[in-house]
Every structure is written in C-alpha cells, then in structure tokens.
Homo-oligomer: A and B are copies of this chain.
Amino acid sequence: MELYDAMSTLRAVRRIKPDPIPEAVLDRVLTAATWAPTGGNHQSWHMIVVKDRALKQGLEDLYRPHWMGYIPGYEAHMKDMPPAAAESSRRALESGTYLATHMHEAPVICVFCFNPSHITVTDAEQPRVSVVGGGSVYPAVQNLLLAARSEGLGCVLTTLLCMEEPAVKKLLEIPNEWHTAAHVPLGYPVLGGHGVINRKSVEKMSSVDRFTQ
C-alpha cells in the first residue's frame, strides 16, 4: 500500500471480529514495528502478542471499569457541544463501549512494553510530565498501526490499561524492570474499518520559525 494512502486513512477501529489473523499477515505487521527508530538504536521495547482467550478476557476485565468510569464525564461534556459534534462524540463513545465489552474477541491484543534503563530520558529534569521515553516506543506502535491498516486489519492505540499496570504485569508475567506503553487490539473490522479521518489542517498544526497558533 502507498505510504500516504495508509497514513491518511488510518482510523481508530474499535469494533473487531474474532476471525483469526493469518500468521504471515501478523508476522509482517510485527516486523514493521521492529523497523522503527529508537534512541541509540537500543530497541529497548518488546511486544507481547496476546492470543490466549483467558488472558485477553483478563485485559478486558481490567480495562472495562476504567472506560465505564469515563462515560459520565464524557456525556456531560457532550451536552455543551453543537449537535454535529455531539453526534460524532456519541458514535465514538458507542465504539469505545463496544471495545470495552468485546476486547477479548479480538484475535490479538498487542501489548507494547519498554525498559527505561537503556533509554536516555533527556526531559527527565524538566518541571513537567516526561514524554521522551515514549520517543523510543511509540514510533514502533505507529509502524504497527500503519502496517495493520495496509493489511486491512482494524486497530486502535489505547493507553487506558497503563492505569492498571501492576495487574497487567502480573497477568502477562512482565519483569519488574519492564513497563507498559500501549495496548493495541488487532483484527478484521466489524464495520467499514479504516477510511476518512478528521484532522486539523497543517496551517493550524504548524508555524514557521516561532510558535504561533
């Protein structure tokens, strides 16, 4: 698939069929992730390809209460929106609830882990939340998403399970020094899957020489 076609049609697909992913397809998607750049080319990240039904159900059981707790605030926020935006948000909410109650059906949940001991976190001393560790794992996640899109697989980048990291580490036997960065359900889409995306223009997202918005 052409690069710009893949990028410009990569949607968050939250309704995923239980149909299995052929091994050759899955292998291509995972391999694409390994190609991503990392600081010092250390590749201090790891994918757990969760296929076991009980483990996927375990992840869903940890995810669902957080999603359900999120709904009331989301619905309150929707009341202040113009009708078109509220309708779009209602659809996003429905697909989120579908994911929170069907996650175990996805043939694969790909859990991205990282080990910060080999990552130089250059913003560690700044007086704000650190993000630079993510620079050595989220490029790999994005490669995986783009590869999944090109293979016709639905997928969505989620991070909600980071709130349950200790339980996820126990469930998937993740060593102490490794942590979790993203959880990506993967599989064939129930509905239309990828397609038109809604993003701000490059004029709104960038400025020349100095920061202006």
Binding site for B on A (CB under 8 A): 1-4, 6-8, 10, 12, 27-28, 30-37, 39, 41, 43, 45-52, 55, 113-114, 116, 120-126, 128-135, 137-139, 141-143, 145-147, 150, 156-157, 159-163, 165, 172-175, 178-182, 197-202, 205-213
Cross-chain contact of A138 among B43, B139, B197, B200 (Cβ < 8 A): B139
A125: nearest chain-B partner, CB-CB: B163
CB of A71 to closest CB in B, whole Å? 14
Chain B residues within an 8 Å CB radius of A131: 114, 116, 130-131, 133-134, 137-138, 179, 181
B132 and A162: CB pair below 8 A? yes
Chain B residues within an 8 Å CB radius of A36: 7, 142
A138 and B133: CB pair below 8 A? no
Q: Which of A28, A161, A173, A201 has the most CB of B within 10 A?
A: A173
Cross-chain contact of A178 among B45, B139, B211 (Cβ < 8 A): B211
A34 and B2: CB pair below 8 A? no
Chain B residues within an 8 Å CB radius of A173: 210-212
A172 and B141: CB pair below 8 A? no
Q: A49-B208, A131-B138 are in contact. List 15 more A-B contacts (CB 8 A).
A: A3-B6, A7-B143, A7-B147, A8-B35, A34-B200, A37-B157, A46-B206, A47-B205, A55-B209, A123-B163, A129-B130, A135-B157, A135-B181, A173-B211, A174-B211
- Bound-state Cα–Cα, A80 to B46, Å: 26
- Bound-state Cα–Cα, A212 to B48, Å: 8
CB of A204 to closest CB in B, whole Å? 8
- Bound-state Cα–Cα, A31 to B4, Å: 10
CB of A54 to closest CB in B, whole Å? 10
A28: nearest chain-B partner, CB-CB: B4
